[in-house]
């Protein structure tokens, strides 16, 4: 029953538990049910996301081309950047910028194909390169797409299939560039208007932290950290050259990507085709509208009909939800940390069914599992059920406890349910 993907991360989890900070990871995966994970308490962390790749898109028709393919509104990239926040431009710090957006690409039936973070590099009059000249000097828009590395070839093929006569160049930049994430600790608590002083300085000189400014000046090519466009609790994200460590990471603990995965499981945020089922997933069931991935005001795009119809009806009967495995006494199970004592066939993986044990009715499916945490596609009518009423099919010894992320709107779950 355990999927290959789940087994890979299980092995990675076990190996991490033997490394320098086993106590931290064990606490992340096995904590009292009323506590939050140590990711919040011990961060911020930084991880190089090896599961993500980078594709560049450049050309006169870039915005029009993508506008007909993605769920978000590309017109934001065509607007003029905000006024300068510093007096003069520097070699590594643009005085004007456009924040990245998160989006999805769908098939004609409105089912999920890919997710992507799209970044627009500074225009030629917004940043100088190390020679005092403007990059991207031909004036055509240049975008970088942060995508699932496992489906990078399919992503490129999909774009090229729809390119037709559009003046657009598409290139895989995954060897030259990579994706990083900073998260956890105070970064999970910052408000929209009170961001991390170091990161604000790293982006656009909006703060005046001299030490942070000096740290940022280590990158002389102008690559920046941006607030994650999905949810502020996810921290900061950015694309950087592959051969060196990004600014500000020196002050953090660089950790394996599995920490980032565990944080997303806690927050109830799926990412990539391993967690959002390609050609089957309905974007609204994966909460993409509240992760700022969907615009309901833009024009037509591939797959829009299903999205618009579902949104206008206002009926979504199931959604992706975070859960944890708990034992009969309510304590969080740590069975994945002791796999040598567990029958591999009894470990639930992606695709396992979640049942209401009172009547044997299926109420959801497990989609992702690491340690005692996971994500499941759950019918909302079951979201308020007690943990003693939910279990994984054909697995005994522990129950499933669902919890509602704090960022969910109230109307997504039955009245009175607070997670």
Length of the chain: 419
Q: Render pLDDT for 103-132 as a digit per residue (tens, 0 to 9).
A: 999 999 999 999 999 999 865 555 444 444
Q: What one-character DSSP code corresponds to residue 70?
A: B
E-strand stretches of 125-197: 142-148, 169-172, 177-183
Residue 253's pLDDT is: 80
Stronger pLDDT, 77 or 151, i.e. the higher one:
151
| Residue 46 CA to its chain's centroid (Å) | 14
Residue 159's pLDDT is: 96
**Residue 1 pLDDT more than 50?**
no
pTM of the model: 0.80
**Residue 43 pLDDT more than 80?**
no
State the Cα–Cα distance between residues 245 and 250, nearest whole angstrom.
8
Q: Render pLDDT for 338-382 as a digit per residue (tens, 0 to 9).
A: 333 334 444 467 788 999 988 889 999 999 988 888 999 999 888
| Strand bridging mode 177-183 / 45-48 | antiparallel
* Distances 42 to 178, 192, 255, 266 between C-alpha atoms, Å: 25, 21, 12, 15
**Residue 138 pLDDT more than 70?**
no
Residue 381's pLDDT is: 87
Kindly give the interhelix angle for 4-17 and 22-29, rounded to the nearest 10 degrees: 140
State the Cα–Cα distance between residues 72 and 301, nearest whole angstrom.
9
Residue 40's pLDDT is: 67
* Structure-block tokens of residue 263: 């944080």
Q: Render pLDDT for 173-225 as a digit per residue (tens, 0 to 9).
A: 999 999 999 998 888 765 443 445 444 444 333 444 444 443 443 355 667 88
Residue of 251, 254, 252 lying closest to 211 (CA atoms)? 251
Cα angle 258, 260, 261; round to 5: 60
């Amino acid at each position: 029953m355990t999927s290959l993907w789940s087994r890979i991360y299980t092995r990675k989890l076990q190996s991490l538990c033997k490394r320098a900070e086993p106590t931290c990871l064990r606490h992340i995966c096995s904590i009292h049910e009323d506590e939050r994970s140590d990711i919040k308490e011990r961060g911020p962390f930084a991880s190089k996301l090896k599961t993500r790749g980078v594709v560049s898109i450049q050309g006169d028709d870039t915005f029009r081309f993508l506008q007909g393919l993605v769920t978000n509104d590309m017109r934001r990239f065509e607007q003029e950047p905000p006024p300068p926040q510093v007096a003069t431009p520097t070699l590594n710090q643009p005085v004007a910028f456009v924040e990245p957006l998160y989006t999805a690409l769908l098939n004609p039936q409105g089912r999920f194909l890919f997710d992507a973070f799209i970044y627009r590099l500074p225009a030629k009059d917004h940043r100088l390169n190390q020679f005092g000249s403007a990059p991207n000097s031909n004036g055509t828009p240049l975008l970088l797409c942060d995508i699932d590395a496992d489906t990078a070839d399919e992503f490129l093929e999909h774009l090229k299939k729809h390119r037709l006569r559009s003046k657009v160049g598409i290139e895989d930049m995954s060897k030259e560039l990579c994706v990083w994430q900073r998260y956890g600790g105070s970064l999970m608590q910052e408000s929209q208007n009170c961001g991390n002083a170091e990161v604000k300085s790293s982006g656009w000189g909006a703060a005046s932290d001299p030490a942070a400014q000096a740290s940022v000046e280590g990158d002389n090519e102008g690559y920046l950290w941006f607030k994650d466009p999905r949810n502020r609790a996810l921290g900061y994200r950015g694309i950087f050259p592959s051969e060196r460590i990004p600014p500000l990471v020196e002050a953090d603990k660089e950790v394996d990507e599995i920490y980032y995965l565990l944080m997303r499981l806690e927050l109830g945020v799926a990412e990539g085709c391993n967690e959002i089922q390609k050609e089957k997933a309905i974007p609204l069931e994966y909460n993409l509208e509240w992760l700022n991935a969907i615009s309901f005001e833009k024009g037509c795009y591939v797959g829009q009909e299903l999205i618009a119809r579902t949104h206008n009806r206002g009926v979504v009967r199931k959604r992706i939800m975070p859960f944890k495995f708990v034992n009969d006494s309510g304590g969080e199970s740590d069975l994945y940390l002791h796999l040598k004592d567990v029958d591999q066939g009894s470990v639930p993986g992606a695709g396992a069914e979640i049942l209401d044990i009172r009547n044997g009715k299926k109420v959801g499916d497990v989609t992702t599992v690491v340690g005692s945490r996971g994500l499941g596609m759950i019918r909302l009518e079951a979201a308020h059920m007690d943990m003693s009423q939910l279990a994984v099919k054909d697995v005994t010894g522990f129950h499933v406890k669902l919890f509602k992320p704090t960022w969910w709107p109230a109307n997504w779950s039955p009245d009175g349910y607070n997670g």
